[in-house]
Amino acid sequence: MTNYQSIQSTENHGSKYRLHNSPMTKHQPSYPSAPIGYRATTMSPVNRNQNTASIPPLMSESNLYQPKSPTVLTPVAHQQNHYQNKTPVLSSPAIRRRLNDSSESQQSQQYKKHRSNDDLRTSLNSKQLVNNTLLNPPQNNNPILVNQQQYMVNNHFPLAHLKRAVSNNLPYFYLKFDDDLTMDKVPSSAKIIHELNQFFYNKWVPSFKGFTVCSLIGKNRFKIGTNDKADYSKLISTQWPGTIDDKIVELIKPNHYPDCFSFVVRHIPVNIPNEHLVKYIYQVFKSAVKFTEIKHYKNNSQSTKDFLFTITDIIEYYTALDLKRIDIGNQLLPLTQFRTSYKLTYCTKCWRVGHMRYECNEPTKCRICLDKYEENVKHRCQGSPKCAQCDKDHWSLDNKCEIIRQYRQDLKSAVEAAVTNGKLQRISTRDIKKPFINKVEDFPVLVHSTQEQIPPAWNIQKKENIELLNELQKINGSMNGIRDDIETLGKKLIEENDKRLAQDKLIHQQQQNIVLVINQFQIIIKSLTEALPELDNKVKKKIEKQVKTLTDIGKKISSNEVIIHSKEQTSPHQIQTNTEITSSTTTDIGRGNENEKLNMSIETINND
């Protein structure tokens, strides 16, 4: 099975799936050299009482429009292009023969040898359908429809359609600003993506990869997206900023997880109920949601089944990628990543396949009933679906349509051909190998004293190398121990330095308090001397002498504070050198002498 094998929905918004390339599925034979109408009718049983589905007229002339993008041809395209390059004469009866009925193509003749009457009727109806389309082209010369009909005849796809088929983009986030803001006041896309990248980068540094697209899609409405699964999982569950460029913004998050987060449990026994499967899966992955059984309609008698679920947690998602197995009912069953079906290229205006909306010139139609929308008139759908491909009563992109089924098969063949030719490349996941780090404690040397090892003569040099490596490992281990001791010693020195700085700050505060006390004493003594005029002159002189002594002490303390403060600013959090330690000891000694002088002066005051 290829990496692009997928499970396609058989209903709209699929809860039921069908596996195309499963070995349990038996496809009916298809003829690659036959035109689209022929292969479409031979895929399903033919009802004799029912008219065969016809291909709608989608073009006027087959060679008016040439696609600008490169195209990838299926194996039949070379033979059919040779025929198409010849200008057909629409009135000639030769146009009614099969497109590949030539002398160069002998493979188609092999299918005509043994066919039943039903196959003959189907072949004739298919020829008539293709001939009617070629002989009765519509009058609308739309180059897009010409391109679509060219696909129907030549069976080729532009490379852009093939890239879209295998792409798997994550859903977008939508930002809505106030409708009252004019275009001049609405922030630009570059401003929005810059502010959001800065916000989430500061929040999740350095794991956030950033947004990859931001564009205006309406009035004051932007879409913004990322291509990283881990970022998408975080963005959908986190809080976004409420304002961007000082403008209030409303965030609209996706209401679902994409299929790239889904996994499939394979080969589950049919006798296990789905309720038990949900419990088994939920025991392993707590964030599992959207449990769905995959239906295989081609083979209902199989003994196993497949079960689909989605993981919303990014950690459990990567764990599931590494496990590749899951325990279900005492059995280890394979757990594989879900591969989505190929995306169709269709128009949301006319709902036909083969082109996009911006390429279509037709008016916009209802998705269900295909009625045209009228301006300033509210559309009321009739409710009955109608197919834009075959005009039957089903949705335009439903798998019930034979043209859609054939389009899917041709698209699959074109993708496989593009991969084979090198037009498309599959991305192969590579396991990141971590570098090996050899540690002595992880692999200790085993010493057996009882066993005598006698190395051979040619292994002497190898033994010497091993001994040298062991000695180097021992030296490396001892160096690591010395480095650890140096780091611990440095931490202790830093702690001691911090303690010393704290003590210096405390002494500094005490000195400031002493200066304040001296100033208060001076004020009190001065006020007392002025209040007592009857004191003798001798007493006044003694008091003035003591006041002068206190003033000198306060000046010396203030000068010492300035020196200590300057040293604290030069080395607040550094390890002191020997010279700095000696200088600090000298300052401490000087500070002690000043304290002794202060004590002596206080004693003299008391003696007096």
Q: What is the pLDDT of residues 541-589, one digit of tens each?
A: 788 887 788 788 777 777 665 555 555 554 444 444 443 433 444 344 4
pTM strictly above 0.75: no
Q: What is the pLDDT of residues 304-324, one digit of tens each?
A: 899 999 999 999 999 999 999
pLDDT at 71: 42
DSSP letter string, 387-424: -TTT--SS-TT-TTSHHHHHHHHHHHHHHHHHHHHTSS
Kindly tell me the sign of the dihedral angle through the C-alpha atoms of 463, 464, 469, 474. positive
Q: What percent of the chain has pLDDT over 70?
A: 61
Does the domain at 173-252 match CATH 3.30.1330? Answer given as no
Task: Tell me what the pLDDT averaged over the chain comes to.
Answer: 71
**Can you tell me whether residue 250 is helix, strand or coil?**
strand
Q: What is the pLDDT of residues 153-212, one digit of tens each?
A: 345 789 889 988 888 788 999 999 998 899 899 999 999 999 999 999 988 877 888 999
Is the pLDDT confidence value at 29 over 80?
no
- Which DSSP state fits 597? H
CATH assignment of 259-337? 3.30.70.330
Mean pLDDT score, 90-117: 38
Domain boundaries, the chain: 31-80+95-167+343-421, 173-252, 259-337, 494-607
Mean pLDDT score, 35-58: 37
Q: What is the pLDDT of residues 401-432, one digit of tens each?
A: 999 999 999 999 999 999 999 888 876 655 55
CA angle in degrees (0–180, nearest 5) for 52-56-59:
150
Spatial contact of 408 and 8, defined as CB atoms under 8 Å apart: yes
Q: What is the pLDDT of residues 260-291, one digit of tens each?
A: 899 999 999 989 999 999 999 999 999 999 99
